Amino acid sequence: MEARQTKVVNKCKLMLGSKNWDISTERISEDKKVIFNKNQKKDYLFIYEMLTKGGVEDILDDNNNPYTCLKWHKEEVPDMILVGYGIDGLNKSWPGDIVTDGFHIGIISGPQRTIHISEKNNIVVEDNWGW
């Protein structure tokens, strides 16, 4: 059986190059629980959808919205454990872990690799963001 974190990373890799979370479009989550409007940043919606596809449940806040980058950063996501801040935290992370600076968010995919929504062109990319 595939570990949950590996499953999350594999689901993310299937989305590389996708513009499904482009800021200029409306996006309804695949589970139909969340709607993001045009011109609304969708990076944390991407995280929500990838975690959900990977088998993580109950990751909506009290208002039935995905947890924002800032809430992840402030450790306000229940049942999630902070690995640590800065390079020390990144060095202790595993593929499938979340990385955020409070303004942007991604999923660790391997050593010095993160999958996230590029702020430059709004597509899903894998690069060294966060490192």
SS3 8: helix
Tell me the mean pLDDT per 10 residues along the chain, length 131.
81 96 92 92 94 89 93 91 83 91 94 93 93 75
pLDDT of the residue at 34? 92
pLDDT of the residue at 2? 62
Would you say the pTM of this structure is higher than 0.85?
Answer: yes
pLDDT of the residue at 1? 41
The dihedral built from the CA positions of residue 74, 15, 12 and 123, taken in this order, carries a sign that is negative
Containing structural domain, residue 57: 4-127
Q: How many domains does the chain have?
A: 1
